[in-house]
Amino acid sequence: MSLLVVGSMAFDSIKSPFGEVERVVGGSATYFSLAASYLSPVRMVSVVGRDFPKATLDLLASRNVDTQGVTVAEGDTFHWQGYYDFDLNTAHTVKTELNVFSDFAPVLPESYRDTPCVFLGNIAPSIQLDILRQVRSPRLIALDTMNYWIESALPELKQVIAKVDIVVVNEGEIRELTGEYNLVKAARALMSWGPSRVVIKRGEYGVLHVAGHHMFAAPAYPLETIFDPTGAGDSFAGGFMGYLASCGDRTLDEMDYRLATMYGSAIASFTVEAFSTARLQSLSQEDISARLSAFRTLTEFTI
Amino acid sequence: MSLLVVGSMAFDSIKSPFGEVERVVGGSATYFSLAASYLSPVRMVSVVGRDFPKATLDLLASRNVDTQGVTVAEGDTFHWQGYYDFDLNTAHTVKTELNVFSDFAPVLPESYRDTPCVFLGNIAPSIQLDILRQVRSPRLIALDTMNYWIESALPELKQVIAKVDIVVVNEGEIRELTGEYNLVKAARALMSWGPSRVVIKRGEYGVLHVAGHHMFAAPAYPLETIFDPTGAGDSFAGGFMGYLASCGDRTLDEMDYRLATMYGSAIASFTVEAFSTARLQSLSQEDISARLSAFRTLTEFTI
């Protein structure tokens, strides 16, 4: 089953305790699409400038990602500059140059409008709403957001949250969004606005998944070498949604959502092993299966 | 199999966003012993002042805890005053009055000297070493410590660490102790000093367990009501060691250590539901079994 994603494509300039890179390919939709492409076909909606490498668009196309919905606009690509200290859970922004992204007003290609799974990446809630007006009765809609939108566009954000099935956010964001510090209470508050599931990303601590009275906690994989956490959350979302899309028409049950969470966690654990998309774009199905098994070994116990 | 613990008994004065209590019973050995007593007989080594409630000593005695090794000294009991903000992972100390604890130089009762399992609670490394000189060939020794000893008594601390099987510390402590930020590297560094296992406590994020090339990650139970995290780490250690002691003479395998970790996590998850030891002292075996099952439901997935 196809999966539509709308989000950013970008250049990132990143400093971490383990190195420094300038203007490497990044963006939430890029990480999401590469991650999801291991599991299902992806339809991408984004905008880049004339300076964006054709090689990346070609790579995406070669990996089952439809880039028809990626506009190449006059001007420069979105550029994020930031750094990490040893605490790799916190990204510090130095500079954000929106460039062509500031006029982003996507019009979906006709061939995208019946996509059954939709992921609204971290962009303005008004654009997220606009995308939902353009798709025809998707089966599953998920959304990501960030503190910037919580602070500047809360009414629109609540409007779009009411229309989605799953919210994927990090723990700081859900606390800010709901005003509840306790994550279980925060998840329940968020679900009272409409969504039936909340997936809370906790960086190196993993993921907490709440749906009705079900809870699922998955650790992040404890790695000895983490070079760059950029894109880990988007890769997680890509693997998560990619697996759900791969289930096709059948009714999803709790165990599907759990396995989706593990696919997301497994793929994200590779992303952080190198800067930019280097590791993410070169995985094999065997790499992913082996990491899934490693997750099982990491978490299993017998009562 | 019996379990010896040496550590503090105290009065705690605590403020959290959920309330405030003054001079309630606390201390690492108190929490540890109550937690462990659900699984194995405990022999306690500590010191209290004349002001310590006899009712607490009686309660311990009624729960399979031998308090022969608890000295009642002239003077006041150790008193800790602190507070928590919404981030319940971080205790802020306002005042520490060592009182009778400042002259703590335990001499083990003869009946304690053959105890097969020993837990060296968070006290001066010189006292931990002294305890090890007084016991006769225990089968299993574990140790806890804290930043104060890492900063003020590192040579003695390394000496005692070299003699133990398991180190139980929180993630800030192991980073400070080894100078490695990455937890997998930090655990390997610590194991190179002698211990074969490292159990890293991560507060509301759970526990990471490293032994040789085995890793085990357990979440903390996501609770809607956490009143007071004081004693959670000590209750975890008590449940963990209590289970290992309950295995008796048989050789422990990886799955035993994992189940021990889950017993510790289950019992600790009750401790934080009330101030002081209120909840911890009133558990049933059914409560603990139900929480263990809830942990399994929380973490299971099918590939």
pLDDT in tens, B147-166: 999 999 999 999 999 999 99
Tens-place pLDDT, residues B56-79: 999 999 999 999 999 999 999 999
User: Any chain B CB within 8 A of the CB of A292?
Assistant: yes
Report chain B residues whose CB lies below 8 A from the CB of A291: none
Decide if A298 touches B, using CB distance below 8 A.
Answer: yes
The whole-angstrom distance between B246's CA and the closest CA on chain A is: 14
Q: Does B90 touch chain A (CB under 8 A)?
A: no
Return d(Cα B5, Cα B241) in angstroms, integer.
10
Instruction: Name which of A193, A226, A215, A297 is nearest A261 in CA terms.
Output: A215
The reply to whether B293 touches chain A by the CB within 8 Å rule is yes
Other C-beta atoms within 10 Å of A1: how many? Answer: 16
End-to-end CA distance of chain A: give it in Å, rounded. 38
Which among A184, A224, A262 has the least Cβ separation from residue B301? A262
How far A19 CA sits from the closest chain B CA (Å)? 16
Quote the tokens at residue B56.
């607490």
pLDDT tops 90 at residue B271: yes
Q: Where are the beta strands (DSSP E) in A27-137?
A: 42-49, 65-73, 78-83, 92-97, 117-120
Confidence of residue A126 (pLDDT cuts 50, 70, 90): very high
The stretch B242-256 carries a mean pLDDT of 96
pLDDT at A286 over 80: yes
Contacts of A36 (CB under 8 A, 6+ apart): A3, A5, A42, A238, A239, A241, A242, A245
In the predicted structure, residue B23 carries a pLDDT above the cut 90? yes
Residue A104 has pLDDT above 90, yes or no: yes
- Contact assignment for B215 to A223 by CB distance below 8 Å: no
Reported as a single tens digit per residue, the pLDDT across B83-120 is 988 777 788 999 999 999 999 999 999 999 999 999 99
> Which chain A residue lies closest to B187 (C-alpha atoms)?
A224
CB contact under 8 A, B222 and A217: yes
Whether A223 and chain B come into contact, CB under 8 Å, resolves to yes
Long-range contacts of A130-137 (CB under 8 A, 24+ apart): A130/A105, A130/A106, A131/A6, A131/A45, A131/A106, A132/A160, A132/A163, A134/A107, A134/A108, A135/A4, A135/A108
Residue B228: pLDDT over 90: no
pLDDT of residue B188: 97
Beta strands in B144-240 (DSSP E): 166-170, 197-201, 207-211, 214-218
Return the pLDDT at A17: 83
Measured between beta carbons, which residues in chain A are less than 8 angstroms from residue B205? 202, 205-206
The band of A55, judged by pLDDT with boundaries at 50, 70 and 90, is: very high
Q: Which residues of chain A from 144 to 203 reach within 8 Å of chain B, CB to CB?
A: 181-185, 202
Instruction: Compute the nearest-CA separation of B75 from chain A (Å).
Output: 41
Selecting from A86, A216, A223 the residue whose C-beta is nearest the C-beta of B184 gives: A223
Between chains, do A298 and B216 touch, taking CB under 8 Å as contact?
Answer: yes
- Quick one: pLDDT at residue B86? 78
Mutate to test the interface with A, among B205, B301, B302 (most CBs of A within 10 A): B301
Q: Report CA B256 to chain centroid distance, whole Å.
A: 18
Burial zone of B94 (CB within 10 Å; 0-12 exposed, 13-18 middle, 19+ buried)? exposed
User: What is the number of CB-based contacts under 8 A between chain A and chain B?
Assistant: 91
How much is the pLDDT for A68? 97
Residue A196: predicted pLDDT? 97
pLDDT digits (tens, 9 = 90+) for A57-100: 999 999 999 999 999 999 999 999 999 887 777 888 999 999 99
pLDDT higher than 90, residue A150 = yes
Q: What is the pLDDT of residues A242-260, one digit of tens each?
A: 999 999 999 999 999 999 9
For residue B71, what are the β-bridge partners? B47
Residue A22 to residue B302: CA distance in whole angstroms: 41
Q: Which two tokens stand for residue B212?
A: 């040789």
Nearest to B269 by CA among B237, B226, B240: B226
* Integer Rg of chain B from CA: 18
What DSSP line would sit under B197-220, residue for residue? EEEEE-GGG-EEEEETTEEEEEPP
Taking the C-alpha atoms of residue A203 and residue A215, their distance in angstroms, rounded to an integer, is 18
Give the closest residue to A202 by CA, choosing from A267, A278, A265, A128: A265
Model confidence at A158: pLDDT above 90: yes
Predicted pLDDT at A275: 86
Quick check: helix, strand or coil at residue B70?
A: strand
Instruction: Return the pLDDT at A213.
Output: 87
What DSSP assignment string belongs to A231-243?
THHHHHHHHHHHH
For residue B298, which residues of chain A lie inside 8 Å, CB to CB?
215-217
What's the pLDDT score for residue B83?
92
- Residues in CB range of A62: below 8 A, 6 or more apart: none
Q: What is the pLDDT of residue A227?
A: 82
Q: What are the chain B neighbours of A170 within 8 Å (beta carbons)? A: none
Mean pLDDT of chain B: 95
So what's the pLDDT on residue B48?
98
**How far is A153 from A293, CA to CA, in rounded Å?**
41
Which pair of tokens denotes residue A48?
A: 């880049």
What's residue B133's pLDDT? 97
The confidence score (pLDDT) of residue B11 equals 96
Per-residue model confidence (pLDDT) at position A141:
98
As a whole number of Å, the CA-based R_g of chain A is 18
Q: For position B132, what pLDDT does the model report? A: 98
Give yes or no for residue A2 having a pLDDT over 90.
yes
- C-beta atoms of B182 and A218 within 8 A: no
Distance of CA A231 to the CA centre of its chain: 8
Residue B97, C-beta contacts closer than 8 angstroms, at least 6 positions apart: B76, B78, B79, B80
**Other beta carbons within 10 Å of A176:** 17
For residue B203, give the amino acid letter. G
Chain A: residue nearest B86 by CA? Answer: A181
The answer to whether A259 contacts B302, with C-beta atoms less than 8 Å apart, is yes
For residue A255, list chain B residues with Cβ-Cβ distance below 8 A: 301-302
Phi, psi (rounded to 5 degrees) for A67: -110, 15
Comparing CA positions, the residue from A78, A79, A28, A68 lying closest to residue A45 is A68
Mutation target among A258, A301, A303 for the B interface, most CBs of B within 10 A: A301
ipTM for the assembly: 0.91
Closest CA of chain B from A105, distance in Å: 40
The partner residue sitting opposite B296, judged by closest CB among A215, A218, A303, is: A303
- Among A225, A255, A302, the residue with its CB nearest the CB of B259 is A302
CB nearest B259 (choices: A215, A219, A303) = A303
CATH, range A3-299? 3.40.1190.20
Measured between CB atoms, which of A205, A225, A298 is closest to B202?
A: A205
pLDDT reported for residue B89: 75
